[in-house]
Amino acid sequence: MDIDIKSIIAQMTLEEKAALCTGASAWSTTPIERLGVPEMIVSDGPHGVRRVPDIRAMGQKSLPATCFPTASCLASTWDVELIRQMGIALGEECIALNVDVLLGPGVNMKRSPLGGRNFEYFSEDPFLAGELAVNFINGVQSKGVGTSLKHYAANNQEFQRFSISAEVDDRTLHEIYLPAFEKAVKEAQPWTVMCSYNKVNGIFASEHNQLLNEILKDEWGFEGLVVSDWGAVRNRVAALKAGLDWEMPGPQDLRVKAVVEAVRSGELDEAILDESVRRILRIVYKARETPKGGTFDVDAHHDLARKIASEGIVLLKNDGLLPLSGQQHIAVIGRSAETAHFQGGGSSHINPTKVAMPFKELQSRAENAELTYAEGYPSDNSFRQDMIDEAVELARSADVALLYIALPTFKESEGYDRHDLDLTTQQIALIKAVSSVQPKTVVVLNNGAPVVMSDWLDGVSAVLEGWMMGQAGGVALADVLFGRINPSGKLGETFPLKMSDTPSHINWPGGAGKVSYGEGIFIGYRYYDAKEMPVLFPFGHGLSYTTFEYRNAKASASKFKDVDGVTVTVDVTNTGKLAGKEIVQLYVHDQKSGLVRPPKELKGFAKVELQPGETKTISIKLDFRSFAYYHPEHKQWITEDGDFDLLIGASSADIRCCLTVTLESTLDLPCILDIESTIREWMTDPRGRQVLGTLYEQIEMQTRKVFGETERYGNEKQPDTFEGFSMGLDIMDMMVDMPVVSVLMFQQEALTMPAEEMVAGLLRQVHSIK
């Protein structure tokens, strides 16, 4: 970049600087004509380019663009290269439509399946979401078009999203809600990061110095600009101080004046304003390097959308009915067969270049079979028995029934959360009625997040999860149903049995301006595993028309240092009769840790294509972070010496191989003992044990004496029963998790100094040890 940004800033007036930090329109930066500073145009994403003709309009119908599958479907592909290709295509469309920055991807965690915007987000797992985001960003930005990583941070519901405070502890924030952002920033450097509407622990995300300055810019090394979500800024000056560079939408004359006045009054250091100006100008000029205009290949991008949809479709259940073959009469039931349901409502809603209608695509592949159609359910929430009766008669006379069931927008959309996990009453009744007369029934779902199925699942032969499948999804569904494509998608989120099973259930959606993230680090499969709770379909689940065998799992070292990591290999063989793709998942389990950890966590995966009888060796590298957890007292990611299980599986619940390795931590952590530290914490800490160890025997002896146990227990082996003890228990079992200072309080008469002074002396000793 040859532009001298420092020189441009030096020539700018205070008013021009303030104006640049606020949008000129709904979709553009403020140009400064006298200095030759161009405008930069952004557009909604993330699964298509929602470019409106007039950049001053918010809700105008957008120009035609490819509607790719939404993020739920993308995550189910587990195919990072395919996501990168989609990013490249989106970049090409941005160039053709004169867009400099695409507002996506979204990497917020799916804390609850009720989240109305979940279809725009990848997963309940931060590692999977992060890997997909990196490749999405790298794909788009390889074309010289920017991205906007969103919505930072802890934006996990639509209820009161403009104001609610996500109350989340530091460890949970770092282990669950930040890692996907961190990975994307460090490995892909998105041009922009978009802050969320909500508060995080009482502070608006747009004014959150810790999130924007300390973590994003300083700790992670983010080089781009931070933009507000549209309308997320409450106090422009406070937001600038906290690291919010660019407020949208514009124009906002009063905000510009507020910034100017704050600088002149001394409330705002002009150096802070200059830093935001520098970041904005850097991206504006970076965008200008890519010439805009021309066209994009509509057909090629439509075909790519088809391929992505086919890779993301998940075969949830199959009693052997699929793939279809030889049926003479196929009953196609459900209005989404004739009116494709392929995207969600809200800011991501795309004006597609064309749409593949599922029924027509079935007809083109059905060869000599007769296809008949019944609507099955209405577009609204009314109950129509006549539609059910018509569908039942059609299904009764057919060889197989295909039920296309789409979760309607009035139940799932940006702007509001779902109230339940059910299909509509009409849809449930329809499935049960049809399957009762036609055992060969296939349910094809179009939805952005999990639905419950217990009422009808046992009565149908097969279930396909088609997601919000994009404009070419109708082709992909037909290809999978007729076996032209072997399904290979696997779930990027758990399907629970019922809503009350979900981790955040008792805290959702909050109230009185706050929502408690009381489940902590235990979201998604982490929670279900810890509770040993059955689910409808586990994280990572997905069936195929073939079968796969895992064997010969190996680790590159049985003992290794955390900084070196370890590589895991496993042989995967296609043991069936059809070519297919398998997604190998690698989870890590810490056998013993200082703080509680989930039973297992995804730390690697690979998608492999295999011909019948073919074997390939899969290799997955694990690094320091694969074994670490965030310690809130040390305020960093730490590893601990010990044994770890490496679990290789076809899903989180289908583990095929297990290896155990031993990690040696290279960290020399500082001592964090303080006045409130317990006996157990002192004796667990190496430095603490060194200092307290000799004194501990005296503390124990004196404690037993105080509570009348000296003669009865002394240093002898612990008895089987505490009958006859003065308190009916071993007193040290009670004392071990009390602060040392509190234990000493009970024996103050035997001490030569106050308990507080004694512990203060111990702390001076322990903190002096290097």
Say whether the peptide bond before residue 153 is cis (omega within 30 degrees of 0): yes
Can you read off the two tokens belonging to residue 47?
A: 């699964």
Pseudo-torsion of CA 314, 316, 318, 324, nearest 10°?
Answer: -30
The span from the CA of 495 to the CA of 492, in Å, is 10
**Could you tell me the sign of the dihedral formed by the alpha carbons of 183, 186, 188, 190, in that order?**
positive
Can you read off the two tokens belonging to residue 445?
A: 């779902």
Nearest by Cα to 111 from 498, 411, 416, 449: 449
Residue indicated by tokens 């083109």? 364
CB contact set of 761 (below 8 Å; sequence gap of 6+): none
8 Å CB contact between 155 and 168 = no
Cβ atoms < 10 Å from Cβ of 522: 21
Nearest by Cα to 8 from 29, 35, 30: 35
Single-letter residue type at 89: A
CB contact set of 510 (below 8 Å; sequence gap of 6+): 157, 159, 160, 164, 516
Say whether the peptide bond before residue 323 is cis (omega within 30 degrees of 0): yes
Kindly provide the residue ranges of all beta strands, DSSP E only, lying in 410-565, ordered along the sequence: 441-446, 462-465, 514-516, 548-555, 559-561
Say whether the peptide bond before residue 534 is cis (omega within 30 degrees of 0): no
Phi-psi region of 127 (alpha: psi -120 to 50; beta: other; left: phi over 0): alpha
Nearest by Cα to 100 from 281, 287, 246: 287
The span from the CA of 207 to the CA of 392, in Å, is 57
8 Å CB contact between 637 and 628 = yes
Which listed residue (229, 417, 562, 590) is catalytic?
Answer: 229
Can you read off the two tokens belonging to residue 655?
A: 């583990």
Three-state DSSP class for 572? strand
8 Å CB contact between 268 and 240 = yes
**Could you tell me the sign of the dihedral formed by the alpha carbons of 149, 150, 153, 156, in that order?**
negative
The span from the CA of 453 to the CA of 463, in Å, is 10
**Could you tell me the sign of the dihedral formed by the alpha carbons of 459, 464, 468, 470, in that order?**
negative
Kindly provide the residue ranges of all beta strands, DSSP E only, lying in 184-342, ordered along the sequence: 192-195, 199-200, 203-204, 225-228, 314-318, 329-333
The span from the CA of 210 to the CA of 552, in Å, is 46
Can you read off the two tokens belonging to residue 281?
A: 């100008």
Q: Side-chain half-sphere of 26: how many Cα atoms within 13 Å?
A: 14
The span from the CA of 403 to the CA of 395, in Å, is 10
Cα radius of gyration rounded to whole Å, the chain = 30
Note if 229 is an active site residue.
yes
8 Å CB contact between 197 and 231 = yes
Cβ atoms < 10 Å from Cβ of 297: 14
Q: Which residues are catalytically annotated?
A: 229
